[in-house]
Structure 1
């Protein structure tokens, strides 16, 4: 893949040792050829220079392919990974990272691969926040370019996040579920996340039981672990609960809270709502309780007891039309 005018070799050293060593490495870590003891003719020198340049170019391409060289890329030519692994980054955290890079430079390169479908573009394996910071600052982003297939990319993406330990439980669980939905094997997902089969099953099961809109509305919730996410799934299990939760999460107070606070607020709301929605028995004239009535934000549910009044549910069902007509006459609807 041609990369002309898209990348530049960085001469910004990563550390002091690299800086000292770089003085003798003119291009991509290559040592200059020793000077001949005797003078050579002009033609010989020209041929030698051409040969060295070709060899250096070939070595550079080899190092790029193996991910051994750090290059500078235009952030406009770099796209995100095809699988998101974050539920957003707090604005103050991103601003802090951008300020740090602006002051001290980008110390750690990002990892990218040549884009599999777009000529001349790249795709991030990891380093999305550093890429965003480079875009904000307006400079180049330092990167390692490596040929990666989809499986290698997601494993690199997951393992780098594991090493940094900055993804929350629900972000890791959502990342695992997205990979599974894209057809990646459990073995690849376990390698990416560094977990065993049992842990992976629990992570995926949590996400499968939760509405994705609730996860995205809450965000990463860094202090919330697996057990509490399971508890939230239990609170959200009835359909009417999910509807009530959706309305609650639209509120300004919920949206302005931190991610952990949003999680706690939703749990509190659903727990209180569940207490209000407790079924109340309806007492008949014969002092039996053939019906239990449950009131929720979205409607009313009647539960007929087959033990107290067998066949009463069918009796009411057959008379629903006449009851509704009577209701319309009385209300004028």
Structure 2
């Protein structure tokens, strides 16, 4: 039996499960249509992902659950639920998208062709008769604005399972921006252990998670929200912006100048990437920014021994290891430089 045929048979068995009462059931698409996304308009499938369709992601998730069922995880068929009974996840992963061109295109597609891809929900833990969305917030919003019911797969999930499912779908999308992911990870860190954060954001590197935290802890969230999702602005630019907020480098006059910029009509009407550049440009050009002084830090081993020294300034990062003091550490670091570079580049930043 081919791998594709085996996947289709598993999926068909899962779609046939019947456990949820209440919302109207709807016949699921055939496994062939499900796996091939036949008939789905590109804009509805614009829940785009790298290397596979969003419906393929849902199919894969359901198959995995079907193979690893636990008492806290039950899969059901596609059901039709009044959109007002589906409430957002308790952790937000996106900025407002109501005027986003991709969302408006998705809404037009659903209005003309119907909702091609179901969303994933769980019974709401505190609101009787309601459901909580794991992923598919944009599809749900489109249906809600159109006064359409929403097609959904209902699955019992713990809080951890919900945010991991929410994050995994985001990892497969190409339109979730760097700062949206950084804020999502920041909110997760406040409520969940590191292993959940790692699973949800799809990055196993502790350094990557720490880097996200450094940025979101330095820049006030109100500033980030005023800028918006800043599509196309990646890690280096956000790190540059964060450097101006770190260690209280902004003087009072510059804070006032920045707040004045945020309140202008021109700033509010600009695109999100343009707003980012305006904020960064203001800080780069201002003489009111406290220039960071050179910082020197001794590197100590657990036993208190001196391993070397780090010197950091605005334009320099220097690591000095004295071979006569710590020869083994110097050799270790030298032999791992290529791996450090590869690890950094594998993060795609």
Of residues 96, 121, 127, the one that matches 2:130 is 121
Conservation of the 8 A alpha-carbon contact between 2:122 and 2:157: yes
Is the CA contact (8 Å cut-off) linking 1:106 and 1:142 kept in structure 2?
A: yes
Alignment of 1:42-121 (within 5 A): 66-89=74-97, 91=99, 92-121=101-130
| Paired residues of 1:111 and 1:146 also in contact (CA < 8 A) | yes
Question: Paired residue for 2:243?
Answer: 234
Partner of residue 197, structure 2: 189
Taking the aligned partners of 1:278 and 1:177, their CA distance within structure 2 comes to: 27
- Which residue matches 1:263? 276
- Superposed CA offset, 1:28-79 (max 9, x none): xxxxxxxxxxxxxxxxxxxxxxxxxxxxxxxxxx9xx622411111011110
Cα separation, 1, equivalents of 2:134 and 2:156:
11
- What's the TM-score once normalised by structure 2's chain length? 0.62
CA distance in 1: counterparts of 2:139 and 2:263, whole angstroms: 31
Number of residue pairs aligned between Structure 1 and Structure 2 = 232
Residue by residue over 1:5-28, the C-alpha shift from the partner in whole angstroms, topping out at 9 and shown as x without a partner, is x4111136367657xxxxxxxxxx
1:222, distance to aligned residue in structure 2 (A): 1.4
Unpaired runs of 5+ residues, structure 1, are 19-61, 280-333
d(CA) in 1 for partners of 2:110, 2:30 = 13
- The structural deviation recorded for 1:277 is 6.4
Backbone CA RMSD of aligned residues: 2.5
Kept in 2: contact 1:157–1:192 (CA 8 A): yes
- Using the TM superposition, give the Cα deviation of residue 268 of structure 1 relative to its aligned residue in structure 2, in angstroms: 1.1
Q: Give the 3-state SS of the residue equivalent to 1:82 in structure 2.
A: coil
Consecutive unaligned residues of structure 2, counting only runs of 5 or more, are 1-18, 35-69, 292-349
Q: Conserved in 2, the CA contact under 8 Å of 1:111 and 1:143? A: yes
Equivalent of 2:261, from 228, 240, 248? 248
Q: CA deviation at 1:186?
A: 0.9
User: Would the alpha carbon gap of residues 243 and 16 (structure 1) be closer, same or farther in structure 2, given more than 3 Å must change?
Assistant: same
> After the TM superposition, which residues 116-195 of structure 1 pair with which residues of structure 2 at under 5 Å, given as runs?
116-182=125-191, 184-195=192-203
Counterpart position of 1:204: 213
TM-score, structure 1 as length reference: 0.65
Runs of 4+, deviation exceeding 4 Å: 14-18, 276-279
